[in-house]
Amino acid sequence: MQVAVLNGVNLNTLADRDPALYGGLSLNELDNRVYRWGLELGLQVRCLQTNHEGQYVDWCHEARSWAGGVILNPGDWTHYSYAIRDAVELFECLVVEVHLSDITKREEFRKHSVLEDVVSTRVIGKGPEGYREALVHLSEART
């Protein structure tokens, strides 16, 4: 199964952000772990990151033609981007929303996700391991 891992705004600055919230890895280190976990599970993973909302929407549209599962971490767009929500709603495969930090225990504006009713499941507050849990979820769903 091919899996799209779509990371959004500010995820490219992970190494510079609070390690207690975001896990202390760079995006490159996170991507490398995701690729390794994917291989261990027999998944073909493609990791992408952008700070441009329109690009993120385009990647969602494109992934519909090739991905058998999707992992999303839109970053702050999670809380207000109805354009991304509408793009995610079009997926016919399983979609997992992932957040490194526990957004339900942070600032009030972070507690709401416009995506939560259009994704299959959510993995929140488990740091980098949340991506592994999402991959396992997709892997187990294909059998």
Crossing angle of helices 129-141 and 27-40, in 10° steps, is 30
The active-site residue, picked from 99, 112, 131, 137, is 99
61 is catalytic: no
Distance CA 80, CA 133 (A): 25
Q: Is 82 a catalytic residue?
A: no
E strand residue ranges, 1-143: 2-7, 44-49, 69-73, 94-99, 121-124
Dist CA 20 CA 109 (whole Å): 20
Question: In this structure, what are the phi and psi dihedrals at residue 99, rounded to the nearest 5 degrees?
Answer: -135, 130
Among 22, 61, 79, 112, the one annotated catalytic:
22
Q: Which residues are catalytic?
A: 22, 99
